[in-house]
Chain A
């Protein structure tokens, strides 16, 4: 059932067994897992069913560290959350991502990779992914022979891509029909109110942009509104604990992590097509896979680096394939393509490569490739694991948003290990590409020196992690292995804010798995109490 807070009376009090704050992939997945149970679930979402610019502006904030996207561009505040602009590039974390690594301060999850497997199995179909496959099996499905890297130096790991899944659209009807799940829209959480000992949350305050107030009372509360907002809400809830609820150890907001993305270098090669063809995303049924290059665990340990992935990209001056895509999209949308004459001339000039690509797609199910003589650069892009860093953090500004809440300040920081990892991995890559006779690799200038300078073109992946990190030890973590906030009996956190380390793969599949795991934990707790 969907309810609009704007239609309820002022100062309404809503009650539930479990209140989930935030209707993104974590909140929706968890709420959905309760459908058909006897647990009364209330999901509170700050936005509406569709995008609204005024609500979105509540995500504004400052960035004072490494240059970053505008904070209100990096996530979405309406039903479905940031899955509304998600491309659904997925993957599971690997065993080393969960391990405590002596050379990575603050690394280590309170459990191993195998703990998450049953929930990954449940999360995969929610993200529209097929069953888990080994790398060799994927290459077989794609009908390709991978580059014969020395497996002690480099290996492949695939992104799994199933096309965009908008959680808010895909699972809307499930939640609408559910008898025991209510979704409260336009309900912005502004404060978690605890008892006087700050050991239990008693209510969460809600406000609409029109000024209407309400509160939710529940036995259990789950914050699932993203790594920036989870921290922001806890820091802002300072009525009893002056540093914010659950923040006795001054950890909330710290350890903000992203996946730094930038080019690391280029390949001088006489045969760009040979490598490009192997690195294009390829289909297997409805799912596609995109290969990335990572370092095997033993080598990571030997080199004492992070777990980072590289993907191959190219720059081409050939435009006919892009024109063909543009034409296809226009025709599918039932309208005449723009710039028709210009596009037709482009297509005529690219007849050969278009015919070749049609043949590849129809006969071999292979993706589009550029005309080889149009490629003027082949380069590698990293999606890096970032080492946990307590100084990389979210704090609160003195500036306030339209609801009167203090705005977030992001101070994203990167360290020496983050950069050294790229240098080591680039060196391994260059050696292997040369050994295979594919060309010579040259680092981009920013990686040729030591120090901690970063490329001005470096960006993140819109992946916010780590601000309410997980640890069994309350001195090093905000939540425990069950995602319960240390020191609070009924407050939980869902989403990538609980990640102690970030891996190199996009975070959504893992956060959905963790949310489902948390849902199962709460089902037990509700029953125990009852």
Chain B
């Protein structure tokens, strides 16, 4: 009985592990990436590169956006980007990059970083 119980427990454990790990390989940041910038600058640059690969026509917009953010300065940059993102989300202006549904300005911010 003990052995049977052990095997049952083992099987259930394996089933749980496989159920947890069998899902699609989606990497979930622990924090809201809208607030944490996807965790680090390299992740943002990767996302930006991906966006420009998908939409090369956005390259000039990304450059322009980079200039706008540069003008806003380091302290003003975050507030400016957040206001723009808010405005886009109100208007339903979102883009999809690597599966993420993002306000366009966030995609442009990532692209600007990728171009830097």
Q: Is the pair B25, A445 in contact by a Cβ cutoff of 8 Å?
A: yes
A429 to B, closest residue via Cβ: B101
Q: Which chain B residues in 72-116 approach chain A with CB under 8 Å?
A: 85-86, 89-90, 92, 94, 96, 98-103
Q: With both chains docked as a complex, state the minimum distance between the C-beta of A264 and any C-beta of chain B, in angstroms.
A: 10
Which listed residue, B25, B35, B94, touches A427 by the CB 8 Å rule?
B94
**Which residues of chain B are near A441, meaning CB under 8 Å?**
100-101
CA distance A434 to B92 in the complex (A): 10
Pair B92/A448 contact, Cβ less than 8 Å: no
A268 adjacent to B24 (CB under 8 Å)? no
Cα(A315)–Cα(B36), bound, Å: 22
Residues of A within 8 A of B4 (CB): none
Fill in one digit per residue for A435-469: 1 if any B CB lies within 8 Å of its CB, else 0. Answer: 10111111111111000000101000000000000
Residues of B near A426 (CB, < 8 A) are 101
> Among B20, B26, B36, B103, which residue has its beta carbon within 8 angstroms of that of A434?
B103
Contact present for A427 and B32 (CB under 8 Å)? no
Q: Is the interface of A mostly helix, strand, loop or mixed?
A: mixed
CA A438 to CA B31, docked complex, whole Å? 11
Q: How large is the interface on B (under 10, 10 to 19, 20 to 34, 35 or more residues)?
A: 20 to 34
Encoded as 1 (CB less than 8 Å from any B CB) or 0, chain A from 223 to 243 comes to: 000000000000000000000
- Pick from A153, A263, A439, A448: contact of B32, CB under 8 Å: A439
Q: In the bound complex, do residue B28 and residue A444 qualify as a contact, i.e. CB atoms below 8 Å apart?
A: no
CB neighbors of B among A449-500 (8 A): 455, 457
**Min CB gap A205→B, angstroms:** 45
Q: Which residue of B lies closest to A433 (CB)?
A: B101
A442: chain B residues at CB < 8 Å are 26, 28, 98-101
Residue of A nearest to B39 (CB): A268
Query: What's the Cα separation between A394 and B68 when bound, in Å?
Result: 60
Of the residues A265, A270, A440, A448, contact of B102 by C-beta under 8 Å: A440
Q: Is the CB of B92 within 8 A of A315?
A: no
A426 to B20, CA, bound (A): 23
> Is A24 an interface residue, CB under 8 A from the partner?
no
Which residues of the other chain, A, contact B96 by a CB distance below 8 angstroms? 427, 430, 443, 448
Residues of B near A445 (CB, < 8 A) are: 24-26, 99
A270 touches B24 (CB 8 A): no
Partner pick for A431 among B28, B31, B32, B92, CB 8 A cutoff = B92
Mask: chain B, 24-66; 1 = CB below 8 Å from A; 0 = not: 1110111111111000000000000000000000000000000
- Chain B nearest CB from A272 CB (Å) reads 10
A271: chain B residues at CB < 8 Å are: 32
Once the chains bind, are A435 and B34 in contact (CB under 8 Å)?
no
CA distance A158 to B80 in the complex (A): 39
Chain B residues within 8 Å of A455, by CB: 24
Residues of A within 8 A of B30 (CB): 270
Are B24 and A430 in contact, with the CB atoms below 8 A? no
Count A interface residues, CB 8 Å: 34
Task: Note all chain A residues with C-beta closer than 8 A to B35.
Answer: 270
A266 to B98: give the CA distance in the assembly, Å.
13
**A376, A427, A437: the one within 8 Å of B101 (CB):** A427
B23 near A268 (CB under 8 angstroms)?
A: no
Among residues of B, the one whose C-beta sits closest to the C-beta of A268 is B29
Pick the contact of A430 from B32, B90, B101 — CB < 8 Å?
Answer: B101
Most buried by A among B31, B90, B96: B96
Closest chain B CB from A6 CB (angstroms)? 40
Q: How far is the CB of B50 from chain A (nearest CB, A)?
A: 11
Write out the residue numbers on chain A whose beta carbons fall within 8 Å of the beta carbon of B26: 265-266, 442, 444-445
Please judge, given known A-B contacts A268-B28, A439-B32, A440-B32, whether A263 and B23 are in contact too, CB under 8 Å.
yes
Q: Which of A51-82 contact B (CB under 8 A)?
A: none
CA distance A269 to B30 in the complex (A): 7
List, in ascending order, chain A residues with CB within 8 A of B90's CB: 435
Residues of A within 8 A of B32 (CB): 268-271, 438-440
Q: In the complex, A269 Cα to B28 Cα: how many Å?
A: 9
Confirm or deny: A391 has a beta carbon within 8 angstroms of a beta carbon on chain B.
no
Set of chain B residues within 8 Å of A457, measured between Cβ atoms: 22-23
List of B residues within 8 angstroms of A377 by Cβ = 28
Measured between C-beta atoms, what is the minimum distance from A151 to chain B in Å?
Answer: 12
Which residues 232-278 of A have a CB within 8 angstroms of B? 263, 265-266, 268-271
Q: A150 interface residue, CB < 8 Å from B?
A: yes
Q: How far is the CB of B33 from chain A (nearest CB, A)?
A: 5
Q: How far is the CA of A440 from the CA of B33 in the complex (A)?
A: 7
CB distance from B107 to the nearest CB of A (A): 12
B18 smallest CB distance to A (angstroms): 12
A443 contacts B92, C-beta separation under 8 Å? no
Contact between A439 and B99, CB atoms less than 8 A apart: no
Taking the closest CB of chain B, its distance from the CB of A19, in whole angstroms, is: 46
Q: Which residues in B have their C-beta under 8 angstroms from that of A315? A: 20
Contacts of A427 in B (CB 8 A): 94, 96, 101
A375 CB to nearest B CB, Å: 10
| A-B residue pairs in contact (CB < 8 Å), sample of 25 | A265-B26, A265-B99, A266-B28, A269-B32, A270-B30, A270-B31, A270-B35, A270-B36, A271-B32, A426-B101, A428-B92, A430-B100, A431-B92, A431-B94, A434-B85, A440-B33, A440-B100, A440-B102, A442-B98, A442-B99, A443-B96, A443-B101, A445-B26, A448-B98, A448-B99
Can you name 16 extra interface pairs (CB under 8 A) apart from A268-B28, A439-B33, A448-B96? A263-B23, A270-B31, A427-B94, A428-B92, A430-B100, A434-B34, A434-B85, A434-B94, A435-B86, A435-B89, A437-B34, A440-B34, A442-B99, A443-B96, A448-B99, A457-B22
Task: Please provide the 3 A-B residue pairs with the shortest distance between their CB atoms, ordered closest to farther.
Answer: A430-B101, A435-B89, A443-B99
